[in-house]
Amino acid sequence: MRLVGRPGFTVIESIRFSTTTLLDVSANNQPHSADQARSTLADVAKKAGVSGSTASIAFSGVGSISQSTRDRVLKAAEELGYFGPDPRARSLRQGRSGIVGVILEDRVLYSFRDPMTLAALDGISQELSPGGGMLLLTSDGEGEPSIQNAVFDAAIFMGCSVHLARSIDIMRRRNVPMVAIEGQPFDGVLSVALDNFEASRTIAQLVYDLGHRRVATITLPLGIRRELQPVTEEVVRDATTAVSIDRLLGAREVFSDLGGYAASNSSSDDGFDAALRLLDVAVHERPTAIIAQSDLLAVGALRAAESLGLRVPHDLTVVGFDGARIEGMSEYDLTTMVQPATEKGRAAGRAVTQMLEGDECNDVAFTCVLHVGTTSAPPRRC
């Protein structure tokens, strides 16, 4: 589906915002100005004629208080326009904010486009305590300080690589529980792992057993430079993304010198571009099978094959990784390794919750399951 044209936009005059309202807001930004608008629990207590601690109890419900006193406090609060304790102060006092930091490897943009990441995020959110929220942070190298300054009680890394070492060190010293989903092993970071290496070997073995010998791969981004590039030994050596490396090395257990292209991202468009490079060559050089490191990449490869007039699996075998449900792929049933993406997130969410409660936690490892679809077949005899 192609779309044309860019929608325009218009700024309209606000009819609901009085200037006064806006000035109030800005006045609030002058730190420590005499701000009459905001009243504190102490004010409420005074007005209700009780002590601060009693007023606190009236709101938090922790501890016992007579109905009449509570009513008096609540009434005073109402009159002062006070609506409950300031979360910032509470979090300092209690040493708890209720926030779990989720550190994304990529720009939010890319993470959101990856169905596996989304599934994991969904899993995490399912397991967080009801009042808790997920604070999305990115670790774009530059982002370290944001990790160090952000308010959260526990951290979940969506894949964590070496450049996070310092942040991890700091978190560890602060006794902040940490969980990494498919990250490199790190001391003090609980690991939620996937058998990327094994699974990749399994599916490569399937391709091998079908009889393919001229095989190429399309990998997930391998390093910091997210651009379409050939998988050279240099690139492999400098790679930082554990997942991509594991999947590559797993496949190389079967095809020892497996090469191909590293995609700039896990999207079908990037898979398309990479596949074109692999397929748009002389017939006798063209691979008879493509091992893609994600289903999105595989879908791109399928499209590229179509565009070159190649039929799958007759002329080309394509296998993926993930087991993503991809809209519009109804004509193909992709051969792939199905991973429990949501479960990974749930396990991570459960782990941080438990660790915050002081319980002990063990590492968790998930395994993928091979799904043989209709995109894989023996190579055609030439």
For position 138 contacting its own copies by CB under 8 A, the verdict is yes
In three state form, how does the secondary structure of 142-210 look? CCHHHHHHCCCCEEEEECCCHHHHHHHHHHHHCCCCEEEECCCCCCCCEEEEECHHHHHHHHHHHHHHH
CB 351 → its own copies: shortest distance, Å?
11
CB 148 → DNA: shortest distance, Å?
11
Q: Which stretch binds its own copies (CB under 8 A): 18-26, 46-54, 209-217, 274-282?
A: 18-26
Q: Is it true that the peptide bond before 379 is cis, omega within 30 degrees of 0?
A: no
Q: What residues numbered 166-205 form the site for its own copies, per CB under 8 A?
A: 169-170, 173-175, 177, 185, 187-188, 190-191
Phi, psi of 259 (to 5 degrees): -125, -170
CB 296 → DNA: shortest distance, Å?
43
- Pick from DNA, its own copies, none: which does 268 bind, CB < 5 to 8 A by kind? its own copies
Residue choice 19, 29, 66, 330 for contact with DNA (CB under 7 A): 66
Q: What residues numbered 277-316 form the site for its own copies, per CB under 8 A?
A: 295-296, 299, 303
Q: What residues numbered 339-358 form the site for its own copies, per CB under 8 A?
A: 339-340, 343, 347, 355-358
Distance (Å, whole) CA 304 – CA 37? 62
For position 32 contacting DNA by CB under 7 A, the verdict is yes
CB 133 → DNA: shortest distance, Å?
17
Strand partners for 368: none
| Binding letters toward DNA, positions 82-111, x by CB under 7 A | --xxx--xx-xxxx----------------
Which residue type, as a one-letter code, is found at position 362?
A: N
For 99-135, the DSSP string reads EEEEEESS-HHHHHH-HHHHHHHHHHHHHS-TT-EEE
Distance (Å, whole) CA 193 – CA 223? 20
Residue choice 14, 17, 38, 369 for contact with DNA (CB under 7 A): 38
For position 272 contacting its own copies by CB under 8 A, the verdict is no
**36: helix, strand or coil:** coil
Distance (Å, whole) CA 265 – CA 221? 6
Task: State which residue, 10 or 66, has the beta carbon closest to DNA.
Answer: 66
- Pick from its own copies, DNA, none: which does 51 bind, CB < 5 to 8 A by kind? DNA
CB 359 → DNA: shortest distance, Å?
20
- CA torsion angle for 207, 212, 375, 229 (degrees, to 10)? 90
Strand partners for 229: 262
User: Among residues 197, 200, 203, which one has the least CA distance to residue 365?
Assistant: 197
Query: Which two three-digit tokens encode residue 108?
Result: 């939010």
CB 213 → its own copies: shortest distance, Å?
27
CB 29 → DNA: shortest distance, Å?
12
Q: Which residues bind DNA (CB under 7 A)?
A: 31-32, 38, 40-42, 49-57, 59-60, 62-66, 68-70, 84-86, 89-90, 92-95
